[in-house]
Amino acid sequence: MKIILILGFLAISLTSFSQCEILNRVSPDRSMMYYMKPVVFYKTTATELKGNVVTDKENYFLELQPRPFPVKSDGKNLNGDLEIKLSNGYVYKLSHYDTRYMQHDSVMELLYLVDKKQIDNLQKYEVNQVKIDMNGKEGFRTYVFKLHKAAIREQLNCFLKEFAGKKKK
């Protein structure tokens, strides 16, 4: 009975990522941004990290939502690059692109630009860990991915497949 329950849960969780539901919103600079719903990568009673891939069809970004996050006045100074470790053991740096507070300042999002040279590796390998420079007294915050390690890879592949198909038509 337990095995059937576990297999059912795995099937539901796997199909939820394979749907590739691409959403869109207009960014503050009036460009269209495409994204998928954020997923939880790490969660304890004290901290959490959610994230997703975002694109404008030309550039790809990794959007992260760390909790707890600093107040807006301190958070606007978060501009350090992101260190990302993949399952192949390589460590990459993603350039900080933007820090923004949303939903009446109840969510802070950090946006990092994915270099075009890194897209191939992000398509092939899972993310094992990220290190965010939180500045000030806290310094670096390291999140070892415990949940949905393949989500960034799957989301990036969905975007690339979707937009490559539309270019050919």
Per-residue pLDDT of the chain (169 residues; tens, 9 = 90+): 655 545 555 554 444 445 699 999 997 788 899 999 999 999 999 999 999 999 999 999 999 999 999 988 888 889 999 999 999 999 999 999 999 998 777 899 999 999 999 999 999 999 999 999 988 778 899 999 999 999 999 999 999 999 876 654 4
Phi/psi for 46 (5° steps) reads -100, -30
Q: Domain extents for the chain?
A: 2-168
pTM of the model: 0.83
- 38-73 b/e with 16+ CB inside 10 Å = b? bbebbeeeeebbbbbbbbeeeebbbbbbbeebbeee
Class of domain 2-168: mainly beta
C-alpha 36/C-alpha 49 separation (Å) is 16
What DSSP state is assigned to residue 152? H
